[in-house]
Amino acid sequence: MVKGKITGLSVKDVRFPTSLGQHGSDAMHTDPDYSAAYVVIETDAEDAIKGYGLTFTLGKGTEIVVCAVKALSHLVVGRNLEDIVANFRDFYRQLTSDGQLRWIGPEKGVVHLATAAVLNAVWDLWAKQEQKPLWKLLVYMTPEQLVSCIDFRYITDVLTEAQALEILQNGKQRQEAREEHMVKHGYPAYTTSCAWLGYSDNQLQKLCADALKEGWTRFKVKVGADLQDDIRRCKLIRDMIGHDNELMLDANQRWDVNEAISWVKELAVFKPLWIEEPTSPDDILGHGTISKALAPLGIGVATGEQCHNRVMFKQFLQARALQYLQIDSCRLGSVNENLSVLLMAKKFNIPVCPHAGGVGLCELVQHLIIFDYISVSGSLEKRMCEYVDHLHEHFKHPVTIRNAAYMPPKDPGYSTEMKEESVLLYQFPSGDIWQQIISENTEI
Ligand SMILES: C[C@H](O)[C@@H](O)CC(=O)C(=O)O
Ligand SMILES: [Mg+2]
């Protein structure tokens, strides 16, 4: 039973100095400090359960998202949770359609990241009150309840509410068997942890050897800054993993369209499954051109981690501009908007391979992709979820990986809650970690 009036919303700027070790580095983001705008909502319910939400950022900029969360808070505080979830579509619309705030979006950029953080906290609260992990809350909602959470505005030309209902009704067939499969085997994952762009060859080899021992079979390598470096690193990793294992490339938006095509052709000999974010994340037709050019080589295009909203995903799908769709739990407008994208991907028969990593992204997105398998796609073909082995120790309920697969979370909620001591230590700039870095005058 959901209950309680939301009486408070607070937000913190929590940053981890990952750039010091070049963790998370790529061809465009050379010094990422994995960070979160971290939201806590409280209610007046007797159970005193709180909802925790976050969105992922890279250090500087987190304070701007924090400001945007504060600007949204008047739309949340004072609302009854029961009313929110009974008409979640309306609530989503209120947050995304504020007559003044939407001017700095709409449904994109900082204000949309803030919306994601707030709504993620609401979903966490709801799932906790229902005493279910979020994936299970979704799996046991009726198709009608699920569609009532989705704002179909701007996507009805490819997905109507009736079509969404039909997909979800079909998804109910044999869902127990798929749930059992998840509980037993988990959702297949790939690792990006071995080959960040700033890692040395030695580091890459050591991490790759460790990952192979741990049972990883799918690896992503960062490319895009220097072709000769890419050739050397791809050869290193392909030689280590052999040809039975999967290799993916990620250029993080580094190239122009024609440059992307010629660069990836040079790397085709390493048989990558996909090239991720080859060019500007906004260039839908450019991705289409790259997809067409690389299809004869058996290389797909993957994108989505910086795709603003469902409208862009709709066009990517309509234009056949991606072959692997990468949802992100913190860039789209929380579960609500992700549901619409999962359903559109199902309609276009495009595999969803979520973006994860960062801080907290693995914790959150595992819920969405497990739900996708059980209730929407019903398939694991060509599907896998990203995994990055950083910062899980800061979460109260960190992900469990077994045999290179995400095991379904058992704890109630959206796995968003951070340990209090971590928040205190890493809060920017007052936390001890940052005070120490600042006093040592390390560049931040
Ligand atoms: C800056 C981030 O680490 C980015 O490189 C992540 C990414 O592209 C991915 O995980 O994929
Ligand atoms: Mg990427």
Q: Is 300 in the pocket of ligand 1 (CB under 6 A)?
A: no
Asked if 155 contacts 107 with a C-beta cutoff of 8 angstroms, the reply is no
Please indicate whether residue 314 is annotated as part of the active site.
no
Distance 157 CA to ligand 2 centre (A): 29
Pocket test for ligand 1, best of 248, 252, 362, 365 (most atoms within 8 A of CB): 252
For residue 442, pLDDT over 70 is answered with: no
Phi first, then psi, for residue 385 (nearest 5°) are -115, 140
Per annotation, catalytic residue among 12, 132, 222, 346: 222
**DSSP 3-state percent helix, strand, coil across the chain (nearest 5):** 45, 15, 40
- Rounded to two decimals, the ipTM of the complex is 0.99
Distance 283 CA to ligand 1 centre (A): 19
pTM assigned to the model: 0.98
Pocket test for ligand 1, best of 28, 56, 192, 391 (most atoms within 8 A of CB): 192
Q: What span, in angstroms and rounded, lies between the C-alpha atoms of 362 and 359? A: 8
Paired tokens of 52: 């925790």
Collapsed DSSP state (helix, strand, coil) of residue 191: strand
Distance 277 CA to ligand 2 centre (A): 7
Per annotation, catalytic residue among 23, 108, 132, 355: 355
Paired tokens of 7: 């009486």
Q: Is 133 in the pocket of ligand 1 (CB under 6 A)?
A: no
Q: By CB neighbour count within 10 A (0-12 exposed, 13-18 middle, 19+ buried), where does 82 fall?
A: middle
- For 118-158, write each residue's pLDDT tens digit: 999 999 999 999 999 999 999 999 999 999 999 999 999 99
Distance 29 CA to ligand 1 centre (A): 8
- Which of 297, 233, 234, 229 minimizes the C-alpha distance to 262? 297
The CB-side HSE value for 178 (13 A sphere, CA atoms) comes to 21
- For 157-170, write each residue's pLDDT tens digit: 999 999 999 999 99
Paired tokens of 291: 């997809």
- State the pLDDT confidence band at 1, using cuts at 50, 70 and 90: confident
Q: What span, in angstroms and rounded, lies between the C-alpha atoms of 193 and 204? A: 9
Asked if 397 contacts 135 with a C-beta cutoff of 8 angstroms, the reply is no
29: which residues sit within 8 A by CB, 6+ positions away? Answer: 58, 252
The CB-side HSE value for 73 (13 A sphere, CA atoms) comes to 17
CA nearest ligand 1 atom 6, residue: 24
Asked if 423 contacts 12 with a C-beta cutoff of 8 angstroms, the reply is yes
Please indicate whether residue 206 is annotated as part of the active site.
no
